[in-house]
Chain A
Amino acid sequence: MKGWIIKSCLIIGIIVLAVFLYIIGKEHIVFVENNTFTIDGKIYEPYDLVRVTLDGGEPVEIKKPRGRSLGRAKVSTTGLNHKVLVEILDDDDNVIESKEAKFKVKNNVEELLLNIPAMMNDAEGWVANNQKTIYVENKPFTVDGKTYEPYEFVRVILDRSKSLEIRKPGDGHTGMDKGTVTDLRHTLYIEIMDENETVLESKEVSYTVEHAQTKLLINIPAVMNDLDGWLTEYEE
């Protein structure tokens, strides 16, 4: 009996340990952005040069986005609780202003995004999930009384990598599909096809996402007809 208790405790212990290891060992990719951002209407301007140190690791220096520099750096880290130290530098690398902040990550978040300007200004949501879920619907779209019908069969390619095939709603089809993309700037490529997959019409559009947004909805008829509001926030 005693043996059993101890055994089960041991097993539970091991499982707990495993979970613990999983959490502290899990890799998170952090994009540190020194970029122009608009968070609920307010615009944050990037700095000329910032030095960012994440969890006391290797510091990275990020210039203002100009020419080749994208104004961002990719840092990899593990664990849930993080500390970021930001130093604003002038041309001859003197620290003008520095600031330290802590933030948490959800374990299942693969990539996240640190918005330096926002952080410096203590704006809400300067930490955001860099993974965006794009919901694509092939459904009727109505704007001032006029309704645009969905297409029989559509292939959608997100960021030239993830491809979705969506049929018209009805007989088993929802007319809806989703894919995840990372980052803010995206492309959307649409092919309208007939039954034997010959492309009748195709179109590519590019769009950017507000970095606080994580779920977006795209309506294909709207896109094809260049109607505003083809890209909206998605609500369940």
Chain B
Amino acid sequence: MPDEILLKMKNINKDFYGNQVLTGVNMELKKGHILGLVGENGAGKSTLMNILFGSTVIKETGGFEGEIELDGKICNFESPFDALDAGVGMVHQEFMLIPGFQAAENIMLNRELTQRNLWVDVFGERLSLLKMEEMVERAQKSIDTVGVDLDAKTLVSEMPVAHKQFTEIAREIDREATKLLILDEPTAVLTESEAEIMLSVVRRLADMGISVIFISHRLKEIMQICDELVVLRDGKLVKEVPTKETNPEQISEWMVGREIGGGPAREEPIKKIEEMETVLKVRNLWVDMPGERVINVDLDIKKGEIFGIGGLAGQGKLGIPNGIMGLYPAGGTVEFQGKKIKLNNPRFALDSGMAFVSEDRRDVGLLLEEPIDWNISFTVMQTQEKYLKKFLGGLIKWRDDRAIAKLAQEYIDLLEIRCTSSRQLAKELSGGNQQKVCLAKAFAVKPDLLFVSEPTRGIDVGAKQLVLDTLHEYNEKYGITIIVCSSELEELRSISDRVAIVSEGRIAGILSPTAPLKEFGALMLEA
């Protein structure tokens, strides 16, 4: 019985509009086993899980190839609901709970126990009464099976994070059908002690015969509870081994390791960091950016270097630039060129010669409704009063549309932004070109220090290279200090002089781009 196969995924292929995210993935999962699923961001973990869970995104983007076999039955889920019926449960990272409801109500959400009455016959099922007591009882039972001390009557809004997590799990296993449970980074938001409980819970579920797919960046946990683990990299399954037969070092190497040589590290000589003067001094920086919290960061950025900040998503690397530039509440001390920076004040940061290309192009980076030239010139116009004609002794500051158009044209040529004219609306541009506009906006400010977050996120390969080259060129030509935050390690290694890895909101370590991959992997994962 225990060695019976529950889930078979046979040579799964999936592409989003031409770019392959999963290629020929095969995996198996035995009944009552826990399978650890590890891999960098963008390795295809979530896509794989979405396929398994029948998420609508997959269908909308043209479905997938290959087949899924659950309990010996071929199944192809149209929607998560099919998956649920088939006994696949998933606990997402963001909670699917209703704050004002009790745990019980959430666990039984839309599966309430009801009692017919005459109105049902007239107006339909939805007028049947809820059997609250029984619902609470049953919910309590499934909470107990999860094995945590939590009253089914407590309001979700008053629960600590961990209990929300458990409530979700309780909901999944409450479905009699549930045979397979997908946990997407269940411990990411938990404290050490909470995480411990969570792990024991997962173990117990497995012992009850429920198979679990456990996604986590904490290899400790993987090693601790998983029976087997699967490593994904660039959409390919690189390894499927019993955890006993491996160790964290190996795993991290599998994860980040590129083909022999490990990807193009940076060719040309790396600057002599020691000899360079510090331009940006960061101490005890905390940033409260939802999903990217920075707990406590110290950094010394040298004048004229390209400094890479890497780390897995949600670890806090993006929080650093957003915090320093004042976009999210932050604290600690930041000194730029010897001058102390007022935090939580974008204007101040800009005025003191720093610029920022946000990772969030659509919501922060661009005026989608406005033309390119506005997008490029706005910041510099507002902060440095450039591209304005002054009348009546500066009383009227007239927007100099001609100059703006000229400026825009310069950058359009320089960065090869593909567009009909400088008057084209930003929303009509492709991702790559939008990104270039964002860069142009930052360059136009002529900053001494430039933060770039996820410069190549969601843009095609060609554009990627061009963006990176441009950054490089500006660093070379104008000696602009550049701080690049990216989830793509090899990208960082290809352009940075130094790469810092952020983990759990702290700097785990700073390495030279030429350092062996396993070191990077170790820093990322051994939190």
Contacts and interface: CB of A to CB of B under 8 A. Distances in A.
A135 B329 CA distance: 91
B411 to A, nearest CB: 66
A223 B124 CA distance: 69
Contacts, number: 8
Contacts of A3: 121-122, 124
Nearest to A7: B122
A184 B135 CA distance: 76
8 contacts: A2-B121, A3-B121, A3-B122, A3-B124, A6-B121, A6-B122, A7-B122, A10-B122
DSSP class of A's interface residues: helix, strand, loop or mixed?
helix
Interface in A1-43: 2-3, 6-7, 10
A3 B126 CA distance: 13
A2 B124 CA distance: 11
A102 to B, nearest CB: 40
Given A2-B121, A3-B122, A3-B124, 5 more contacts: A3-B121, A6-B121, A6-B122, A7-B122, A10-B122
A205 to B, nearest CB: 63
Contacts of A10: 122
Contacts of A7: 122
Interface in B112-137: 121-122, 124
Nearest to A3: B121
Interface of A: 2-3, 6-7, 10
Contacts of B122: 3, 6-7, 10
Give 8 nearest A-B pairs by CB, closest first.
Answer: A6-B121, A3-B121, A10-B122, A6-B122, A7-B122, A2-B121, A3-B124, A3-B122
A10 B118 CA distance: 12
Nearest to B121: A6
Contacts of B124: 3
A6 B127 CA distance: 15
B433 to A, nearest CB: 57
Nearest to A4: B121
B259 to A, nearest CB: 64
Interface in B207-252: none
Nearest to B124: A3
A202 to B, nearest CB: 65
Interface string B85-125: 00000000000000000000000000000000000011010
A1 to B, nearest CB: 11
Nearest to A2: B121
Contacts of A2: 121
Nearest to B120: A3
Contacts of B121: 2-3, 6
A3 B128 CA distance: 14
A107 B124 CA distance: 38
Nearest to A10: B122
A3 B125 CA distance: 10
Contacts of A6: 121-122
A168 B108 CA distance: 82
A7 B124 CA distance: 10
A6 B122 CA distance: 6
A124 B121 CA distance: 53
A27 B263 CA distance: 95
B127 to A, nearest CB: 12
A7 B118 CA distance: 11
B128 to A, nearest CB: 13
A17 to B, nearest CB: 15
A13 to B, nearest CB: 11
Nearest to A6: B121
A165 B504 CA distance: 97
A72 to B, nearest CB: 51
B50 to A, nearest CB: 38
A147 to B, nearest CB: 70
B435 to A, nearest CB: 57
A10 B121 CA distance: 10
A145 B53 CA distance: 102
B194 to A, nearest CB: 48
A2 B116 CA distance: 14
A3 to B, nearest CB: 6
B123 to A, nearest CB: 9
A14 to B, nearest CB: 11
B119 to A, nearest CB: 10
A6 B118 CA distance: 10
A10 B124 CA distance: 14
A6 B121 CA distance: 7
A6 B124 CA distance: 11
A61 to B, nearest CB: 53
A24 to B, nearest CB: 25
Nearest to B125: A3
A3 B122 CA distance: 6
A6 B120 CA distance: 10
A53 B393 CA distance: 99
A7 B122 CA distance: 5
B344 to A, nearest CB: 60
B300 to A, nearest CB: 74
A3 B120 CA distance: 8
